[in-house]
Amino acid sequence: MKGKVGIIANPASGKDIRRLVAFGSVFDNEEKVSIVRRILLGLEAADVEEIIIMPDTYGIGERALEGLGKRRLKPQVELLEMEIGHGGADSTLAAQKMQAISVAAIVVLGGDGTCRAVAKGCGEVPLVPVSTGTNNVFPEMIEGTIAGLAAGIVAVTGAGMLRRAKKLDIYGPEGWRDLALVDVVVTKETFIASRALWDMDRIESIIVTRGEPDTIGLSAVAGCLSPVAPQEAAGLYLELNHEKPTVTVLAPVAPGLFSPVPVGTWQRLTLNEQIVLGASGNPRLLALDGEREVLVRAGEEARIVLSAEGPFVVDIAGTLRRAQSQGFFTR
Amino acid sequence: MEKEKLVDLYRQMVRVRQFETKVSELFAQGKIPGFVHLYIGEEATAVGACANLRPDDYITSTHRGHGHCLAKGGDMKLMMAELFGKKTGYCKGKGGSMHIADMDVGILGANGIVGGGLGIAPGAGLSAKLRGTDQVTACFFGDGASNQTTFHEGINIASIWRLPVIFICENNQYGISLHQSKHQRVADVADRAVAYGIPGVVVDGNDVMAVYEAVGEAVKRARAGEGPTLIEAKTYRWHGHFEGDPTVYRSEKELAEWKERCPILRFGKHLVEMGVATEQELDTIKAEVDNEVEEAVRFAEESPLPVPEEALEDIYA
């Protein structure tokens, strides 16, 4: 037995207003419990020595263990010591603590928002992001058993296949403010409120690290116009023009929701290139990975910089293939 | 949203807060008989929800109903008089806090029975549907009520008949003195929507705009004949279950954390930050509401008590 793996499962993901304004599925917490249970079994199968789980208000980790009945897991399983109940900040803090105790990988259950919160705290610890919902780009729709197995192989063999994700760093006058893993959308909204974005009339521009025709959300606008692959050293910046669009893009901006998006101009971004949002008479809200998050006050300037230094992500298929070729599954 | 409407959301929350604060004072002074359950801390939910409703839409309320009634357009003077047990009150002084109703503005009643409104709201929805109107019903209830059979029966029938009802669970963390984690295994009441084949959404119940947006979308669905929605607003009551409750079941730290998320302070700060209103304008609103509350108290104090001869009048059952 060898290695240590962290699990961060967000009890709040999969329940926002997109169940009303689009056709997002309700992802209940018992399903997350069930996925974590299978992740634990995947980690055990890989012969991981220790598993650390972020505590949460629902008790996803405890319930996952409880559901195993009398079956006792071989790895030592512990809840991370931390105070909880602070929303997304819990995930960031948990990631920081897991990094500090040198976990080899973190399995993340949630959507783009949860991955973003974890990315703010995980440093260079690789992530195995598992999607819990229907509106995600960054995490994969992958069976928990396989996600656990891949994370376990990374921890046990130290030979996982990793790729580094891109990110967008947001700077205000005071310095760094936040980051996004997939997209930053500049909106005319004035309230964070229910966080989601669905009204294209309220959007001014979109900046993406990635976007392909088979993705969903605002980055799909890039994907349906001028795709950018996750591995490409590039991004895309699109300015919408609601009066005189150069092109109208039909994109799946949310689950089951297609919107014609009027695009005026678009340009590819190179790494480290920045988009400057000049000071405006009106405040603007930036949506990060689909959620209204950062306020740019009237008269304030903001910069958004494309960076190659996002979190490391485990290539699940590649890691499992390599493990297979090295005889990991045969005795 | 227009400035006028944003500022009105703020004013409505302040009206609920100041009304309840005054009721708390008067109850402690022994001027209000019976029981009162106060809504302080939860203002954003009632106000954000009711801001989407028309005067001819309906609400069903709870034992903690003052906020709902004010937000839906109830008359503050008649409410205060009712709390005082005066003849000029909504129920001629015979109902008290938990029976305030006003059919003229669609308030189908506060309710002393936990989960009582959940049985009434589908009826109101069916009525609107049979009459062919596009009226909707907002049904307020708490996390504790979501364990009552009326919750399951009400949502079930509303989902089968696609009734125009918005079920709004005010999850204030406690069913009387029992923390939610001890009275139900789910953490999100909205998860239960899945069982009835309707959308379920969780919102920050201390963010008036978040509630406004979510309920607004649910109202659109309901008016369009697309059926009911379950919205869970996470919030917290600052006072006890009832006035006089020593609240030994919760910590000061927990209360302090929720007070930091005060819906009125948060919204007011944002209005100023966004240049929608000035501090001075907000102070003026508070002063105007203070006067309105004082006037309601004066009206209640100066009103007559019902006479014994009227004791058996207005009895229906």
Tokens of A260: 């014609």
Predicted local confidence at residue B40, as pLDDT: 98
Angle of the A144-157 helix axis to the A29-45 helix axis, nearest 10: 40
Higher pLDDT, A307 or A29: A307
Predicted local confidence at residue A219, as pLDDT: 95
- One-letter amino acid identity for B282? L
According to DSSP, the residues that pair with B171 across neighbouring strands are: B234
Question: In chain A, which residues fall in CATH 3.40.50.10330?
Answer: 2-164+311-325
CATH 3.40.190.10 is right for the domain spanning A167-307: no
Judge whether B185 counts as a catalytic residue: no
- Half-sphere exposure of residue B133, counting CA atoms within 13 Å on the CB side? 13
Identify the sign of the CA torsion B273, A93, A72, A49: positive
Judge whether B241 counts as a catalytic residue: yes
Taking alpha carbons only, the member of B72, B43, B17, B22 closest to residue B236 is B43
Radius of gyration, CA atoms only, chain B: 19
How many Å lie between the alpha carbon of A218 and the closest alpha carbon of chain B? Answer: 20
Identify the sign of the CA torsion A251, A255, A259, A261: negative
- Give me the total of CB pairs closer than 8 Å, taking one residue from chain A and one from chain B: 72
CA dihedral of residues A265, A270, A272, A273 (deg, nearest 10): -30
Q: How many domains does chain B have?
A: 1
In three-state secondary structure terms, B261 is coil
Tokens of B67: 């906020």
CB A104 within 8 A of CB A7: no
Domain contains B108: yes
Predicted local confidence at residue A325, as pLDDT: 95
B187 at interface of A, judged by CB pairs closer than 8 A: yes
Q: Where are the beta strands (DSSP E) in B100-227?
A: 137-142, 165-171, 174-175, 178-179, 200-204
DSSP calls for A230-273: TTSSEEEEEEE-SSS-SEEEEEEEETTEEEEEEEEEEEEEETT-
DSSP calls for B259-305: HTT-HHHHHHHHHHHTTSS-HHHHHHHHHHHHHHHHHHHHHHHHSPP
Q: Where are the beta strands (DSSP E) in B14-113?
A: 58-60
Using a CB-CB cut-off of 8 Å, the residues of chain A touching B191 are 15, 26, 28-30
- b/e per residue, B220-244, with b = 16+ CB within 10 A? ebbbeeebbbbbbbbbbbbbbbbbe
Given B202, B218, B275, which is nearest A15 (Cβ)?
B202
Taking alpha carbons only, the member of A244, A247, A243, A214 closest to residue A229 is A214
Identify the sign of the CA torsion B182, B184, B186, B189: negative
Nearest chain B alpha carbon to A188: B1
ipTM of predicted complex: 0.85
CB contact under 8 A, B270 and A15: no
CATH topology of domain A2-164+311-325: Rossmann fold (3.40.50)
Taking alpha carbons only, the member of A117, A157, A159 closest to residue A138 is A117
Given A29, A193, A298, which is nearest B186 (Cβ)?
A29
Using a CB-CB cut-off of 8 Å, the residues of chain B touching A113 are none
Query: In this structure, what CATH number is given to the domain that contains residue B99?
Result: 3.40.50.970
The one catalytic residue in B66, B68, B237, B239 is B237
Three-state helix/strand/coil letters over B204-252: ECCCHHHHHHHHHHHHHHHHCCCCCEEEEEECCCCCCCCCCCCCCCCCH
Nearest chain B alpha carbon to A197: B213
Judge whether B237 counts as a catalytic residue: yes
Predicted local confidence at residue A70, as pLDDT: 80
d(Cα A148, Cα A45) in Å, to the nearest integer? 9
Using a CB-CB cut-off of 8 Å, the residues of chain B touching A28 are 186, 188, 191, 194
Angle at B49 between CA A58 and CA B68, to 5 degrees: 100
Angle of the B76-83 helix axis to the B3-28 helix axis, nearest 10: 20
In three-state secondary structure terms, B140 is strand
How many Å lie between the alpha carbon of B166 and the closest alpha carbon of chain A? Answer: 12
Residue with tokens 């009339």, as numbered in its chain: A201
CB contact under 8 A, A15 and B221: no
- Asked whether residue A294 carries a pLDDT value surpassing 80, the answer given is yes
Tokens of B173: 């963390």
Using a CB-CB cut-off of 8 Å, the residues of chain A touching B217 are 17, 20-21
Given B187, B213, B257, which is nearest A17 (Cβ)?
B213
First-residue to last-residue Cα distance in chain B: 46
Predicted local confidence at residue A28, as pLDDT: 82
Tokens of B100: 């305030």
Burial (Cβ within 10 Å: 0-12, 13-18, ≥19) of residue B246:
exposed
CB A149 within 8 A of CB A45: yes
d(Cα A102, Cα B206) in Å, to the nearest integer? 38
Structure confidence by residue, pLDDT tens digits, A2-35? 899 999 999 887 788 888 888 877 778 889 999 9
**Phi (first) and psi of residue A286, to 5 degrees:** -95, 130
Structure confidence by residue, pLDDT tens digits, A179-233? 999 999 999 888 888 888 888 899 999 999 999 999 999 999 999 999 999 999 9
Given B187, B194, B207, which is nearest A57 (Cβ)?
B187
Tokens of B304: 């007559």
B112 at interface of A, judged by CB pairs closer than 8 A: no
d(Cα B185, Cα A33) in Å, to the nearest integer? 13
Q: Is A37 left (phi over 0), alpha (psi -120 to 50) or beta?
A: alpha
Predicted local confidence at residue A69, as pLDDT: 81
Instruction: With cut-offs at 50, 70 and 90, classify the pLDDT of residue A286.
Output: very high
Tokens of B230: 């379950």
CB A232 within 8 A of CB A198: no
User: Could you report the average pLDDT of every consecutive run of 10 residues in chain B (317 residues)?
Assistant: 93 98 97 95 98 98 98 98 97 94 97 96 98 98 96 98 98 95 92 93 96 97 97 97 94 95 96 93 98 98 95 83
Instruction: With cut-offs at 50, 70 and 90, classify the pLDDT of residue A1.
Output: confident
Predicted local confidence at residue A11, as pLDDT: 87
In three-state secondary structure terms, B32 is coil
Interface probe with B: pick from A34, A190, A195, A257, most Cβ of B within 10 Å: A190
The length of chain A, given as a count of residues: 331
Predicted local confidence at residue A23, as pLDDT: 81
Kindly state the DSSP code that residue A310 receives in the 8-state scheme: -
d(Cα B3, Cα A190) in Å, to the nearest integer? 12
- Half-sphere exposure of residue A316, counting CA atoms within 13 Å on the CB side? 20
Question: In chain A, which residues fall in CATH 2.60.200.30?
Answer: 167-307
In three-state secondary structure terms, B138 is strand
Burial (Cβ within 10 Å: 0-12, 13-18, ≥19) of residue A63:
middle
Neighbour count for residue B311 (Cβ, 10 Å): 10
Per the structure, the complete domain to which residue B257 belongs is given by: 3-300
Pairing mode, strands A175-180 and A167-172: antiparallel
Predicted local confidence at residue A191, as pLDDT: 86
d(Cα B251, Cα B257) in Å, to the nearest integer? 10
Interface probe with A: pick from B184, B196, B272, B274, most Cβ of A within 10 Å: B274
Report the run of H or E that residue A155 belongs to, with start and end.
Answer: helix A144-157
Using a CB-CB cut-off of 8 Å, the residues of chain B touching A85 are 257
Predicted local confidence at residue B163, as pLDDT: 98
Neighbour count for residue A74 (Cβ, 10 Å): 12
Report, as an integer, the average pLDDT of A233-250: 97
CA dihedral of residues A153, A119, A110, A53 (deg, nearest 10): 60
d(Cα B217, Cα B211) in Å, to the nearest integer? 10
The one catalytic residue in B249, B250, B266, B270 is B249
Predicted local confidence at residue A279, as pLDDT: 87
d(Cα A24, Cα A134) in Å, to the nearest integer? 6
